[in-house]
Amino acid sequence: MIKKSFYYSLFVIIGIIIIFPFIIMFKKSFYINGQIDLSLYEKFFTSKANFTLFKNSFLLAGTVALLATISGLPLAVLLNRTNIYFKKVLLVLFTFPLFVPPYIFAISWYYILGKNGILNSFLHTGAITSSLFFGFPGCVFIHFSIFLPVVIIVVSFFLKGVNPNLENSARLYTGWKRVMLNITVPTIFKGIVLAFVLVFILSFGELSVPTFLRYDVFPVVTFLKFSAFYDYSGATVSTIPVLILGLIFVFTLKSLKTANEIDGPSSEEQLLIELGKNRLWVSFLMAVSGIILIVIPFSVLVMKSGGIKNIVHAFKLAQSTLLRSLYLAAIGGLLITIMGFFIAYFEKRENKKGAFLLDSLSLVAFAIPGTVIGVGLILLWNTPQTNFIYSSPIIIVLGYLAKYTAISSKIFEVGFGKYPPSAEEAAMMCGASWIKRLFFITIPMLKHLFLLSFVVGFIFSLNDVGITMLVYPPNFETVSVKIFTLMANGREEIISSLCLILVLTVVFAMSLFFVLKRFKHEHSGN
Amino acid sequence: MNKLFFKITLLIFVLNLTAFCSKKGNDKKGVVVVYVSEDRVFSEPILKEFEKKTGIKVKAVYDTEETKSTGVTNRLIAEKNNPQCDVYWANEPIRAEVLKQKGVLDVYFSKNAKGIPENFKDKNGYWTGFSARIRVFVVNKKSKKVPSSIFDYVKPEWRGKGVIANPLFGTTTSHIAALFTLLGDKKGRKFLESLKRNNIKISSSNGESADLVASGEYIFSLVDSDDANSRIKQGKPVKIVYPDQGKDDPGCFVIPNTVMLIKGAPHREEAKKLIDFLLSPETEQKLAFADCAQIPLHKGVKIPENLKPIEKLKVMRVDFEKVAKKMIEIQPLLKKFLGL
């Protein structure tokens, strides 16, 4: 009874948070002047300009996904299955960009590749690099840098789940190359496809980089329609392609799982490729790639910040904003974790169709640009009756929940996939109530995932710009929004310092996670 | 030990969360909510000074560069039936007119508005102008030739050498709309088409335009005087040229900041105090000496030597109410111009 009541309450709450904003937006787009009118949709789908924008978005996302997958797969193999030097350092280095706001990369590389950028000072190539940077090639490069970690993380995860007996048996008869090609890669094929689709969706929906680099794509159009023309309905209609892509993403994810369930990381020793005499130069090459893609842009930020004095000054300026951002992100991370856990629980353990629907919708919401979600939130919550929500930071947290719950539910799905329900079933047979089973078996079994989900939810919430920019109540701006509002005539040193502070905050959060994980590992003996 | 650590962490988190979420007892007194389209680096110090002087807490929402003056305008329109804001500080009068037409504004005649010329305020008291910017050319110093008129944008010798900010946002929209009221629709349309044919680059904002000229990617751009002035102060290799100052020329477009009271403002009395403060000669002087270098509309206000007082400039004569209406009329044309 308790479980049923809890499940229905959860369904209603999550439904309101994720589904209602979209219902309101789409209702507005179908009704014009109180009558059903499909003219917006007709205009949208017959517009040549929209076709061009769609083509741009598709081209950008497709190119980024392809390049990231082709590069990410061997990188993941090298990082997980070889004896390269500084494996952990390289792993952290290559996965780090995922947790940094994309526009920070764009700003950093602008300082390097702009017409009067650093590269121009040495090679006088400013005109060429600038013309390449501001447009499609620049967008591809920045998105590739940001989303490459997605491929590495996803493929690494699938690599860890490969049954080592298969590889070890094959290794008895043939070399590691054939084992990789004929056993490992086919086994992790679903992970490769998943990584490709995920990067495609993320690149398609990302707004800040194409805006900065003046490349017209769909999310930018949505933002413009809302911002410039007060055209909520037009903005809604322009999200249709992204929604369709979101649904494709969901379908891909769901069908991949039914075909072959994810095993989760294996505890047995897996195939390790000895690089031999190639070890040094491969490690060197990877280190150089990491330095070019990640270390250089951040070094430029440090340089442009103009020294400790400016960083301290920026910190003082942003102190209350930073604290506020941390609190909002912490609340966001916590609620995202709780919601994600229960969605995964009711879907995986209880096989509830409602939870399946919520999971699918949360995945679609993840795929949709934050600006679109922001529009939906304003339309839904800006009423006298719900003013206590709209005029408070709750509205920002609702945006985080709508956008990022999917990440948490995926993390917990993996956990539920790895641990069979036998322990819970045994407890049930002994008469333990649902609450007791939940708190004494299920949650302790997955406690390491709570920390991971919290940290990931925290970081994504902290970096959010699209939703926050549209809905933040007065005096509740976050650091990301502050950076954007200061870009107009703000001093370069201050903007760079603020970007650096945000990056260091993310570094701190990730470090805390690793320290806590290690602390727990040492004290629990796991 | 683990459990104790966890409980302490949770307690600290909950206590701080409660403090973060709770409203202070005196929050409802002495608070004013202001939405600001003027660049934050210039407006924030003024608002902080108001806070210091009056003790009234200022809660602000700022526009970002990309949505300059439309993002926040949008919020005001969206919130019309449930206003959150008390005062809107816009960086130009056109959107003030749009908001007036949409019934978002309330009437207030500030005592400090008396010294401001009539053509820079709404005659019915819905908005008042102060501290103006001029639409100027920012020109790269390396260029031997210098543009003198806005119509140089469409001349062959300037092909591909100019940049202009996105006409969907901010002061560029206002300027294009003002041109349409002066030239008429036919010539205005022709001007837009010629811009495209002459390979004029569209940037995302005035700030970006100024940076592109400063970096040498383009020779000139039409920007606001504060954008140009800030680059000069940063030591960038650019200079200011006041366009259309000749005898038969229309003059340069002057854009005052505007301040207005929102209808249904939750903190009406505090809002009036803020409006009075913003319209004071002291505030105008501060904005004149700030990096934005905005020109006071009150007479006799001290300004830096490098600024030209408004009486020494040939100013484009426009009716802002007509410009606002024209701006809405030409939106489909602007969309088409941008391929939207």
What per-residue confidence (pLDDT) applies to A261? 41
Q: Which residue has the tokens 């007791």?
A: A436
Long-range pairs for A250-256: beta carbons < 8 A, 24 or more residues apart: A250/A360, A250/A363, A250/A364, A252/A193, A252/A194, A252/A197, A253/A194, A253/A197, A253/A363, A254/A360, A256/A190, A256/A193, A256/A194
pLDDT at A50 over 60: yes
**Contact by Cβ (8 Å): A370, A465:** yes
What per-residue confidence (pLDDT) applies to B23? 44
**Contact by Cβ (8 Å): A477, A328:** no
Give the mean pLDDT of B262-269: 95
**Contact by Cβ (8 Å): A396, A468:** yes
Contacts of B268 (CB under 8 A, 6+ apart): B86, B261
pLDDT in tens, A468-488: 887 899 888 888 888 877 766
Distance between start and end Cα atoms, chain A:
36
pLDDT in tens, B303-312: 888 778 888 8
Q: Which residue has the tokens 């969706």?
A: A201
**Contact by Cβ (8 Å): B73, B262:** no
Q: Is B38 on the interface with A (CB under 8 A)?
A: no
The answer for A 226-245 residues in CB contact with B (under 8 A) is 226-230
pLDDT confidence of B202, banded at 50, 70, 90?
Answer: confident
Q: What phi and psi, each to the nearest 5 degrees, are found at residue A419?
A: -100, 120
Q: How far apart are CA A408 and CA A410, in angstroms?
A: 5
What per-residue confidence (pLDDT) applies to B296? 93
Q: Is B22 on the interface with A (CB under 8 A)?
A: no
Task: Note the Cα A14 to chain centre separation in Å.
Answer: 20
Q: Is A116 on the interface with B (CB under 8 A)?
A: yes
Are B169 and A228 within 8 A, CB to CB? yes
Tell how strand B220-224 and strand B201-203 pair up. Answer: unpaired
What per-residue confidence (pLDDT) applies to A259? 38
pLDDT at B105 over 90: yes
What per-residue confidence (pLDDT) applies to B113? 93
pLDDT at B216 over 90: no
pLDDT in tens, A272-299: 778 888 888 888 988 888 888 888 888 8
Using CA atoms, how far residue A299 sits from A283, A293, A349, A503, in Å, is 21, 11, 47, 12
pLDDT at A75 over 60: yes
Q: Is A182 on the interface with B (CB under 8 A)?
A: no
- 3-state DSSP: chain B helix, strand, coil percent, rounded to 5? 45, 20, 35
Is B189 or A124 the better-scoring residue by pLDDT?
Answer: B189
Within 10 angstroms of residue A287's Cβ, the number of other Cβ atoms is 17
pLDDT at A256 over 60: yes
Q: Hey, which residues does B32 pair with through a beta bridge?
A: B58
A44 → chain B, closest CA residue = B340
Are A487 and B17 within 8 A, CB to CB? no
Q: Is B215 on the interface with A (CB under 8 A)?
A: yes
Q: Is B288 on the interface with A (CB under 8 A)?
A: no
pLDDT confidence of A219, banded at 50, 70, 90?
Answer: low
Q: How far apart are CA A458 and CA A404, in angstroms?
A: 10
**Which of A129, A382, A489 is the best mutation test for B, with the most CBs of B within 10 A?**
A489
pLDDT confidence of A223, banded at 50, 70, 90?
Answer: low
pLDDT in tens, A415-460: 887 777 888 888 888 888 888 888 888 888 888 788 888 888 888 8
**Contact by Cβ (8 Å): B316, B178:** yes
Chain B positions touching A378 (Cβ under 8 A) are 75, 78
Are A49 and B17 within 8 A, CB to CB? no
Within 10 angstroms of residue A378's Cβ, the number of other Cβ atoms is 22
Q: How far apart are CA A260 and CA A255, in angstroms?
A: 9
Give the mean pLDDT of B105-111: 96
Are B39 and A489 within 8 A, CB to CB? yes
Q: Hey, which residues does B260 pair with through a beta bridge?
A: B88
Q: State the burial class of residue A295 (Cβ atoms within 10 Å of its Cβ: 0-12, 13-18, 19+).
A: middle
Percent of chain A with pLDDT over 90: 10
DSSP state of A181: I
Q: Hey, which residues does B203 pair with through a beta bridge?
A: B165
Q: Which residue has the tokens 């280095």?
A: A93
Chain A positions touching B209 (Cβ under 8 A) are none
Residue in A470, A491, A508 with CA at minimum distance from that of residue A235: A470
Gap from A181 CA to chain B (nearest CA, Å): 45
Mean pLDDT for chain A overall? 80
The answer for A 348-387 residues in CB contact with B (under 8 A) is 378-379, 382-384, 387
Highest mean pLDDT among A97-111, A211-225, B48-62, B293-307 belongs to B48-62
Tell how strand B105-106 and strand B162-165 pair up. Answer: unpaired
Q: For A327, which of B20, B66, B169 is closest by C-beta distance?
A: B20
Q: How far apart are CA B299 and CA B6, in angstroms?
A: 65
What per-residue confidence (pLDDT) applies to A225? 58
Gap from A390 CA to chain B (nearest CA, Å): 9
Are A114 and B35 within 8 A, CB to CB? no
Q: Which two tokens stand for residue A495?
A: 């903007």
A45-54, A398-407, B226-235: the lowest-pLDDT one:
A45-54
Tell how strand B220-224 and strand B31-36 pair up. Answer: unpaired
Is A229 or B125 the better-scoring residue by pLDDT?
Answer: B125
Q: How far apart are CA A483 and CA A485, in angstroms?
A: 6
ipTM value for the complex: 0.72
Distance between start and end Cα atoms, chain B:
62
pLDDT confidence of B5, banded at 50, 70, 90?
Answer: low
Are B64 and A130 within 8 A, CB to CB? no
**What value, to the nearest 5°, has the Cα angle with vertex A189 and ends A184 and A190?**
135
Q: What phi and psi, each to the nearest 5 degrees, are found at residue B260?
A: -150, 155
Contacts of B331 (CB under 8 A, 6+ apart): A229
Chain A positions touching B78 (Cβ under 8 A) are 378-379, 382
Are A383 and B82 within 8 A, CB to CB? yes
Q: How far apart are CA B145 and CA B241, in angstroms?
A: 12
Q: How far apart are CA A192 and CA A77, in angstroms?
A: 12
The answer for B 139-158 residues in CB contact with A (under 8 A) is none
Within 10 angstroms of residue B340's Cβ, the number of other Cβ atoms is 20
Within 10 angstroms of residue A174's Cβ, the number of other Cβ atoms is 12
Highest mean pLDDT among A29-33, A70-74, A100-104, A190-194 belongs to A70-74
How much is the pTM?
A: 0.78
Q: How far apart are CA B251 and CA A40, in angstroms?
A: 41
**Contact by Cβ (8 Å): B219, B163:** no
What per-residue confidence (pLDDT) applies to B16? 58
B18-27, B45-54, B62-71: the lowest-pLDDT one:
B18-27
CB-defined contacts A:B, below 8 A: 125
Give the mean pLDDT of B162-191: 88
What per-residue confidence (pLDDT) applies to A338? 92
In single-letter form, the type of residue at position A19 comes to I
Q: State the burial class of residue A492 (Cβ atoms within 10 Å of its Cβ: 0-12, 13-18, 19+).
A: middle
